[in-house]
Amino acid sequence: MASGEERVLHGVGASPGISIGRAMAVPRHPVQVAYRPLQDQTEAEAEVTRFEVALQATHDDLATARDDLSAALADYSYIIEAHLLILKDRMIKDRTAQIIRQQRLNAEWALSQAVSEAKVFFQKIKDDYIRSRFTDVEYVTDQVLRHLSGQEGSALSAIREKVIVVAHDLSPADTTQMDLDWVMGFVTDMGGPTSHTAIMAQAKALPAVLGLERVSLEVKSGDFLIVDGSAGVVVINPDDETLHYYRDKQEAYELYAQEILAQAHLPAETLDGHPVDVGANIELAEEVGMVLGYGAESIGLYRTEFFYISQKTTPSEDELFHNFRAVAQRLGGRPVNIRTLDIGGDKFASSVDLAPEINPALGLRAIRFCLKEKDLFLDQLRAVLRASAFGRVRVLFPLISGVEELVQAKELLERAKAQLVRRGQSFDPKLETGIMIEVPSAVAIADLLARHCDYFSIGTNDLIQYSLAIDRVNEHVAHLYQPLHPAVLRMIQMVVRAGHQAGIKVAMCGEMAGDQRAVPLLLGLGLDYLSLNALGIPRVKQMVRMTNRATWQKLAKRALSFATAAEVSAFMDQELRRHFPKVFSAEPAK
Predicted confidence pLDDT, tens digits, the chain (590 residues): 445 689 999 988 888 889 999 998 887 666 778 788 998 999 999 999 999 999 998 888 888 877 766 555 555 666 777 788 888 877 888 899 999 999 999 999 999 898 888 887 777 666 666 666 677 787 788 889 888 887 655 556 566 789 999 988 887 667 666 777 789 999 999 877 667 787 778 767 889 999 898 898 899 989 999 999 988 899 999 999 999 999 999 998 888 888 888 899 999 999 999 999 999 998 888 889 889 988 999 999 999 887 776 666 788 999 999 999 999 999 999 999 999 998 754 444 444 555 444 344 556 678 988 999 899 999 999 999 999 999 999 999 999 999 999 999 999 999 999 999 999 999 999 999 999 999 999 999 999 999 999 999 999 988 988 888 876 544 455 556 688 999 999 999 999 999 999 999 999 998 899 888 899 999 999 999 999 988 789 989 999 999 999 999 999 999 999 999 999 999 999 999 999 987 776 555 45
Task: Give bridge partners of residue 465 from the DSSP assignment.
Answer: none
515-554 residue pLDDT tens: 888 999 999 999 999 999 887 899 899 999 999 999 999 9
List of residues 6+ apart from 361 with CB closer than 8 A? 126, 345, 346, 471
CA distance 203 to 295: 14
- Taking a C-beta distance cutoff of 8 angstroms, is the pair 483, 460 a contact? yes
CA distance 209 to 231: 9
For residue 37, give the DSSP letter. Answer: B
Q: Max alpha carbon distance in the chain (Å)?
A: 78
Q: Mapped to the 3 state alphabet, what secondary structure does 477-498 carry?
A: CHHHCCCCCHHHHHHHHHHHHH
Q: Please report, for residues 122, 123, 350, 416, the alpha-carbon distance to residue 346 in angstroms, rounded to integers and kept in the order given.
A: 8, 9, 13, 28
| Strands laid side by side in the 18-25 sheet | 7-10, 233-236, 224-228, 18-25, 163-167, 183-188, 208-210, 12-15
CA distance 69 to 457: 36
For the whole prediction, is pTM greater than 0.85? no
Task: Give bridge partners of residue 383 from the DSSP assignment.
Answer: none
CA distance 49 to 148: 11
Write the CATH number of the domain with boundaries 7-27+157-238: 3.50.30.10
Positive or negative torsion for Cα 511, 513, 519, 522? positive
> Is residue 509 packed enough to be buried (19+ CB in 10 Å), middle (13-18) or exposed (0-12)?
buried
29-64 residue pLDDT tens: 667 787 889 989 999 999 999 999 999 988 888 888
CA distance 541 to 546: 9
List of residues 6+ apart from 385 with CB closer than 8 A? 413, 416, 417, 420, 427, 428, 431
Provide the residue ranges of all domains of the chain, joining segments of one domain with +.
7-27+157-238, 41-149
For residue 193, give the DSSP letter. Answer: T
Q: Tell me how crowded residue 313 is: count the other CB atoms within 10 A of its CB.
A: 10
What topology is assigned to 41-149 in CATH?
Enzyme I; Chain A, domain 2 (1.10.274)
Nearest C-alpha neighbor of 406 from the set 440, 446, 444: 446
For residue 263, give the DSSP letter. Answer: T
Q: Which of the residues are catalytic?
A: 196, 509
**166: helix, strand or coil:** strand
List of residues 6+ apart from 130 with CB closer than 8 A? 122, 305, 309, 347, 348
End-to-end, the C-alpha distance of the chain in Å comes to 18
CA distance 442 to 495: 9
Alpha carbon of residue 33 to chain centroid: 32
